[in-house]
Amino acid sequence: MRVGYILLTFTIVFVCMWFFHESTRYKAYYRTSFFSIMVMAALLYTNRVFQFLLEKGVIQSNDVFLTLERMIYYYLIFGIFCAYAFFILCLFDQFQYYPKWKILLFLLPAVIISIMVITSPWTHWIFYVENGVTYKGIFYTFGVLVAMYYGIFGSLHAFRKRKLFPKVFGECVVLVLVLTFIHYINYVITQDEILLSVALLVGIVIYMLALTTVDFYKDTTTNLFNKEAFEQYVKKEIGKGNDKTVYLIKLKNYEYLKENCHEIPLQSTIRELAECIRKYSKLPSIYYLGGGKFTVIVPKHSKFTEEEFLKRLRERFCIPFDVNGASIQLTLFIAIMNLQNGKINRTNFTKYYLACDEMKYRSNDLLEIIHGDNFGIDQLQRYHQVEEAIERALVEHEFKVFYQPIVSTKTKKIVSAEALLRLNDRVLGFISPEEFIPISESNGKIIEISDYVIDSVFRFIKENDLEKLGLDFIEVNLSMIQCMDKKLPDKLKFFLEKYEINPKFVNLEITETATNYDEERLRQQLFDIKKLGFSFSLDDYGTGYSNLVRVLEYPVDMIKLDKSIVWSAFHVQDNYVTMKNLISMFHDVRRKIVAEGVESEEQMQALNELGCDYLQGYYYSKPIVAEDFLRFTARFNA
């Protein structure tokens, strides 16, 4: 019976160790500390085998031998509880990053007990052996208490944070803790170790299984909690009524870095940034949501001070970061949201958070800080109002498609037009697409809206003879969300068939901000659509982090220079030269150039000289309703 039990526990521990070792995907402190618990448990069970052999007289022993054996035994049985508490702290709090003195203070009782155990043969503090019999020393109870302290401390902590485990494991963890505690009391009273070691074993198995799933809540780059953990947190905690402050921290240069450097240096930069945030905030609840976005949650009663945190961040960000050997000045956007008791529930928080996330950057400061108190509620209200207006417009068919003429520099005739969406709400009045498009992208309405745009434009093409008017095609804006929509090719095909038009009359404008998306899929999608017969333009060239190589990878026939770079060319001589080179470069690779934002005769002339193929802007016409556009074109081209 005894032998069977020993062999069984032994086997289970080793299998667990092997499993855990093999399933380890990356190094993390909590994993290492958990592994050390398993090693200790394995040693304990080895020790048990040894004891068994001694008892059976298979091994002959003397007092020295026995003392050594007991020393290892006590060392392990006390130490394992300390290791357990340490593991729990690393798992939930990133304790390993706490100041050294805190870690030392935490380990101090364990160190004292270790010294007592090791010196016991001489001092008899914990135990001593005489004539083959082991006696307890005067500080034995102290050892038990210290172990209990670690055990209870770790368990309470795990209990408090159990929500970070998937639900079923959270419950198991609680159960295991309760049972272990009962067995421990039983051990103290009856000295029966068997139940305790079984409980230990069950604990290890449960934790190990939980850990392989807890990875689900950890970000591998930063070892911080990830987006899923944040969503869990929001689901459970927000709205519970405790005051807290939420910081949304975004690395503004993220897109740029993603575009211009490899995965590894980007990751190490993110890791460095995570380290800074963790070190300066000294807080345990930091989440990395991906895309250079962090969230820090500060409970009301914490030692965190905003000034100190921001001051240290600012000091760090004054110094350029080293990214793959290059010095790069990084900048942050920080939105601070104070959530007061009861004022904010989960849905509101999500919207509030999104509104902060959607905020346009307004400055080039190293840290651009926005206080939710000052802007948030207004912004949030507006956000809601616009959402409602979008909803109304979809139901009441209030969206209108306007057309802005595009003129060829060669023929001086209108050869195409860009379809631009207009929303005139009966409550809010005119709402710019710059405002409602991003909102509709964040709440998913963009798909419905764009179906409407595509439908209107295709109908327009069907109802009018473009060729007769001298028009080659109509340009339709596609947002990134649409481009990534799997149904897009089928949808386009559907509308082509519905109106029986030739796809050559449609040019799709895509914007180059796709860095957060799966580029391979995007490219594939674009080629699929191209096969249907549509052509593409690359919109807003010069606003993002446009790069020529990327442009060539996409099947675009035209490049639309953004109005901001067109305008800057007329203010700054250098930019004029840059634009000139840009145009000739694009011509070399057989792309046509459209200049946007042409407002004056002078600009028109200069852009002509620079060799732009097409011009678009208020100089010719603002976007106008379809009937006006038709009349305007007929007159202009006559």
Contacts to ligand C2E by CB under 6 A: 404, 420-421, 432-434, 437, 450, 453, 477-479, 539-540, 563, 596-599, 616-618, 623
> From the list Ca ion, ligand C2E, none, which binds 433 (C-beta under 5 to 8 Å, kind-based)?
ligand C2E
In angstroms, give the least distance from the CB of 477 to Ca ion.
5
Among 540, 558, 565, 614, binds Ca ion (CB under 5 A): 540
Examine residue 509 and tell whether it contacts Ca ion (CB under 5 A).
Answer: yes
Phi, psi of 108, rounded to the nearest 5 degrees:
-55, -50
The answer to whether the beta carbons of residues 637 and 413 sit under 8 Å apart is yes
Q: Which long-range contacts (CB under 8 A, 24 or more apart) does 285-288 make?
A: 285/225, 285/233, 286/94, 286/224, 286/225, 287/224, 287/225, 287/226, 287/227, 287/229, 287/230, 287/233, 288/219, 288/221, 288/222, 288/224, 288/225, 288/226, 288/227
Q: At closest approach, how far in Å is the CB of 90 from ligand C2E?
A: 46
Q: Are 281 and 307 in contact (CB under 8 A)?
A: no
Cβ distance to ligand C2E smaller for residue 283 or 453: 453
Stretch that binds Ca ion, among 79-87, 156-164, 263-271, 537-545 (CB under 5 A): 537-545
Residue with tokens 């054996």: 69
Locus of tokens 């699929």: 528
Smallest distance, Å, CB 434 to ligand C2E?
5
What residues contact residue 476 under an 8 Å CB cut-off, 6+ apart?
Answer: 419, 453, 454, 457, 506, 507, 508, 509
CA angle 386, 388, 393 (to 5 degrees): 95
Among ligand C2E, Ca ion, none, residue 219 binds (CB under 5-8 Å by kind): none
Q: What are phi and psi of 523, to 5 degrees?
A: -60, -45
Q: How far is the CB of 17 from ligand C2E (least distance, A)?
A: 55
Q: Contact at 8 Å (CB) between 327 and 320?
A: yes
The one segment of 35-43, 155-163, 185-193, 506-514 that binds Ca ion by CB under 5 A: 506-514
* Beta-carbon contacts of residue 417 (< 8 Å; ≥ 6 apart): 403, 404, 405, 406, 471, 474, 475, 629, 633
| Nearest residue (CB) to Ca ion, 14 versus 545 | 545
CB of 437 to ligand C2E, least distance (A): 5
What span, in angstroms and rounded, lies between the C-alpha atoms of 382 and 88?
44
CB of 541 to Ca ion, least distance (A): 8
Phi-psi region of 526 (alpha: psi -120 to 50; beta: other; left: phi over 0): alpha
CB of residue 616 vs ligand C2E: minimum separation in angstroms? Answer: 6
- Among the listed ranges 50-58, 217-225, 442-450, 539-547, the one in contact with Ca ion (CB under 5 A) is 539-547
Assess contact for 139 and 123: CB atoms under 8 A: no
Report the residue number, 85 or 389, with the smaller CB distance to ligand C2E: 389
C-beta closer to ligand C2E: residue 186 or 409: 409
- Quote the CA–CA distance of 13 and 41 in Å, as a whole number: 7
Partner that binds at residue 618, options ligand C2E, Ca ion, none, CB closer than 5 to 8 Å by kind: ligand C2E
432 binds, among Ca ion, ligand C2E, none (CB under 5 to 8 A by kind): ligand C2E
Beta-carbon contacts of residue 608 (< 8 Å; ≥ 6 apart): 409, 615
Q: Nearer to Ca ion by C-beta: 166 or 597?
A: 597
**Closer residue to Ca ion in complex, CB, 219/540:** 540
Residue 143: name its binding partner from ligand C2E, Ca ion, none (Cβ under 5 to 8 Å by kind). Answer: none
Closer Cβ to ligand C2E, 245 or 404, answer by number: 404
Using the minimum distance from each CB to ligand C2E, give the nearer residue, 109 or 623: 623
Q: Running DSSP on this structure, what letter comes out for residue 218? A: B
Is the CB of 219 or the CB of 562 nearer to Ca ion? 562
Please, is 293 exposed, middle or buried when counting C-beta atoms within 10 Å of its C-beta (0-12, 13-18, 19+)?
middle
In angstroms, give the least distance from the CB of 298 to ligand C2E. 37
Choose the one of ligand C2E, Ca ion, none that binds residue 9, judging by a C-beta under 5 to 8 angstroms depending on kind: none
Residue whose CB is less far from ligand C2E, 197 or 616:
616
Q: Within 10 Å of residue 525's Cβ, how many Cβ atoms?
A: 18
219 binds Ca ion (CB under 5 A): no
Q: Tell the smallest beta-carbon distance from residue 389 to Ca ion (Å).
A: 22
Sort 550 into a burial class: Cβ within 10 Å, 0-12 / 13-18 / 19+.
middle
Q: CA-CA distance, 346 to 222, in Å (whole number)?
A: 26
Q: Smaller CB distance to Ca ion: residue 297 or 594?
A: 594
CB of 168 to ligand C2E, least distance (A): 43
555, interface contact from Ca ion, ligand C2E, none, CB < 5-8 Å by kind: none
Q: How far is the CB of 426 from ligand C2E (least distance, A)?
A: 20
In the complex, minimum distance from the CB of residue 543 to Ca ion, in angstroms, rounded to a whole number = 8
What DSSP designation does 283 have? -
512 contributes a contact to Ca ion by CB under 5 A: no
- Whose Cβ is closer to ligand C2E: residue 45's or residue 536's? 536
Instruction: Determine contact, residues 583/593, Cβ cutoff 8 Å.
Output: yes
3-state DSSP percent of the chain in helix, strand and coil, to 5: 60, 15, 25
**Interface with Ca ion (CB under 5 A), residue from 539, 586, 598, 603:** 539
Contact region with Ca ion (CB under 5 A), list: 266-274, 281-289, 485-493, 509-517: 509-517
Residues 6 or more apart whose Cβ sits within 8 Å of residue 295: 230, 246, 247, 248, 249, 286, 287, 289
Task: Give min distance, CB of 479 to ligand C2E, in A.
Answer: 4
Do the beta carbons of residue 287 and residue 274 sit within 8 Å? no
From 120, 226, 281, 477, residue interacting with Ca ion (rule: CB under 5 A): 477
Cβ proximity to ligand C2E: between 393 and 598 the closer is: 598
Q: Which residues bind Ca ion (CB under 5 A)?
A: 477, 509, 539-540
